Chains A and B, each alone.
Chain A
Amino acid sequence: MKLHEYQAKAILRQAGLPVPKGEVVFKADEVPAALAKLGMNAGVAKAQAYTGGRGKAGGIKLFKTAEEAKAMAQQLIGMTLVTKQTGPQGVKIEAVLLEEASVIKRELYVAVTLDRGKANIAFILSPEGGMDIEDVAEKTPEKIKKLYPAWGRNLDAALAAEGAKFLGLEGDQAKAFADILEKLYRLYQEKDCSLLEINPLIVNDKGGLALLDCKFNIDDNAVYRQKDTGGDENAEKDPSEIEAAKYGLSYIKLDGDIGCMVNGAGLAMATMDIIAHYGAQPANFLDVGGSASEEAVTKAFEIISSDKHVKAILVNIFGGIMPCDRIARGVVNAVKTTGLKVPLVVRLEGTNVKEGKEVIDKSGLDLVSATDLEDGARKAAEVVKSMKAGVAGGVSGSKGVK
């Protein structure tokens, strides 16, 4: 789960970290009151949307008067922001953060994240702030330093000093940096972060440090105990993904044309891979889980079928905890209620496979049975390819949309 900048900064400010003063507005009408509260008429307006690269895309603007600020809020809120990171579809701007402008003397980078190999928290530091850190890592890896705190203890002063030195901070700045690092370390743990990135951490004209922008991501497994951060766990999801989650289904919409229904995350990924291997593209990732009800299976099938791009469906089940006959009944029910608009290939294996195949056979539905995973994927890919070949001759211009 990601937090918006204004939500993250509220948490950082509360922790005593130096964040520029600011107020968020959700409507342009709120701008005068917000500026009055801040006691300023000039500053910076920052679009609140789940993406980086906002500045270059026109999502961050300086204003000199309250009228200008209001006009900017009017223009930005509700607009779709397209940045380098969003792809062409962009993301919606939900609010605008009005902030005092900072004079930037230096831009630094500080992040707290998980190093899974070391099973520890890691600090990532760079004197090259304000840029895409992946670019820095690629072009000038010597300008990135990783530091590891000793687990379960307060942050070691020597570690903070080492970090400050790497960033070229001395005296009071080094002290201020140690305090910032300690607070970020504590917040990372308290708020169940998966990433807490400050980019840039600036040195301002008075020689002070300030956290100018941040990414604050929370571990999806811990969202249940981090509700008070104000984050919205459904914020970046497709409506069909939210609907699927209600039934305990793990669903991610993709761009291909073969809908997949699989049990188990690994097998679901492997099914997508094998579809790609046979020259077609998966329309989704869908893990129905290990103990889905017949109702959930029916729902899963409805969600896949409702994707207009789906030209064939591949059901791939290795019955473990979940017996094949339950899956089969769920599929048959779904087809009977919603109808079957595209070819359906079914591969069943594992627990109660015989009973499952019986359910399919007795249903009288026109399904393609597959003997194993390879057979299933090949048949689904062939169906789609032959349909495309048929369409290409008749309807020109419908190809290459994807």
Chain B
Amino acid sequence: MAILIGKDTRLITQGITGKAGLFHSQKCREYGTNVVGGVTPKKGGTTVEGFPVFNSVAEAAKATGANATMIFVPAAYAADAILEAADAGLPLIVAITEGIPVMDMLKVHNYLKGKKAILIGPNCPGIVTAGVCKIGIAPGPIHSKGKIGIVSRSGTLTYEAVHQTTMAGLGQTTAVGIGGDPVHGLSHVDVVKMLNDDPETEGIILIGEIGGSDEEIAAEYIKKQVKKPVVAFIAGASAPKGKRMGHAGAIIDGNTGGAEAKKQALRDAGVTVAETAAEIGKRMVEAMKAKGK
């Protein structure tokens, strides 16, 4: 089961002839993902490393039966690439690209309202269903098939949580990196709902950071609906106000978006909050035991 992707996923890559796009298409294929081709305008009809290349997403979808895409198109053109994928009817769009203007993402977000396409990212590491399918740039070998679902705004902190749950013998169902931008596709609460409904997922790890109120919204849902053990970590407690900490979304404005308020909202929802990023796995083991799992 797991969520969003699995053995039936047929993936294309938008921007497959670029250095990063091609490298990660190969890495995804090595992991076991069925990568059926890619898109680069004006290079249709060629192949790279065994991947057929098409001029447009619509063309690629028709020829390959693709049902997912990952986007490595440069920031200035990435919003258009997302819209193109949605128009071609692809149900899952994973945007890896970093640095897309917020105004472009506002257009994308509002365009996708009411459409069936699910967007993950942008500025995200992608998604991995352990042992089965990987879309994006996460290192494959740290994953192990298991029972923990992970949702995170940060790439490397996702890896940290994956690694720690692997070392603790818990393993993962699906790990989703939702990205660090202020306007994005799936949010924490969307993924928490999916993981909560997934029978294979027994525990959930939520990794957030300063800025916005995604974590607070997820906390409200967890409080009402989630019986599975949840462990959270919030990055950025030591960050100064008003400075953008790498991620465009990681900035504290005025009195909202602070780490402590997020931690408190999660604690109030019965979530175990890890004080440091080093103890996420340990806290998950304890939380699972406490629930008799």
Residues of A bordering B, CB below 8 Å: 114, 116-117, 119-121, 134, 137-138, 151-152, 189, 192, 194, 219-222, 224-225, 250, 252, 254, 262-277, 281-282, 285, 287, 290-291, 318-321, 349-351, 372-374, 377
Contacts and interface: CB of A to CB of B under 8 A. Distances in A.
Nearest to B157: A266
Contacts of B207: 266
Interface string B10-54: 000000000010011000000000000000000000000000000
B155 A268 contact: no
B33 to A, nearest CB: 16
Nearest to B248: A221
A285 B239 contact: yes
B250 A114 contact: no
Nearest to B19: A291
Contacts of B103: 189, 192, 219, 222
Given A137-B254, A291-B20, A318 B101 contact: no
A219 B156 contact: no
A353 to B, nearest CB: 10
Contact of A373 (B76, B160, B235): B160
A213 to B, nearest CB: 19
B209 A119 contact: no
Contact of A350 (B100, B163, B211, B245): B163
15 contacts: A119-B106, A121-B106, A194-B102, A219-B103, A219-B248, A225-B101, A266-B157, A267-B235, A269-B210, A270-B233, A277-B276, A285-B239, A318-B156, A320-B156, A374-B279
Contact of B156 (A138, A192, A250, A263): A263
Contact of B101 (A221, A250, A273, A372): A221
Given A192-B103, A194-B102, A263-B156, 4 more contacts: A114-B183, A117-B217, A152-B110, A372-B278
The 3 closest A-B pairs by CB, nearest first: A266-B154, A264-B156, A265-B246
B240 interface: yes
Contacts of A372: 278
B106 A273 contact: no
Interface string B203-229: 000010111111001000000000000
A266 B278 contact: no
B277 interface: yes
B278 A264 contact: no
A122 to B, nearest CB: 12
Interface string B242-258: 01111111100011000
B3 to A, nearest CB: 21
A274 B275 CA distance: 8
Contacts of B183: 114, 116, 119
B6 interface: no
Contacts of A349: 163
B235 to A, nearest CB: 4
- Contact residue range for chain B? 35 or more
Contacts of B276: 270, 273-274, 277, 373-374, 377
B89 interface: no
A277 B237 CA distance: 10
Contacts of B139: 319-321, 350-351
Interface in B106-125: 106-107, 109-110, 125
A263 to B, nearest CB: 6
B213 A318 contact: no
B75 A272 contact: no
B130 interface: no
B270 interface: no
A151 B106 contact: yes
B136 to A, nearest CB: 10
B102 A192 contact: yes
A143 B121 CA distance: 36
Contact of B159 (A119, A152, A220, A318): A318
B155 A290 contact: yes
Most A C-beta atoms less than 10 A away, residue of B20, B138, B163, B236: B236
A273 B246 contact: no
A276 B102 contact: no
Nearest to B158: A266
Contacts of A114: 102, 106, 182-183
A267 B236 contact: no
Nearest to A133: B254
B153 interface: yes
Nearest to B276: A274
B244 A268 contact: no
Contacts of B240: 254
B236 A269 contact: yes
Contacts of A275: 238
A351 B102 CA distance: 32
B101 A270 contact: no
Nearest to B100: A221
Contact of A117 (B99, B212, B277, B279): B212
A276 B238 contact: yes
Contact of A320 (B152, B155, B250): B155
B278 A219 contact: no
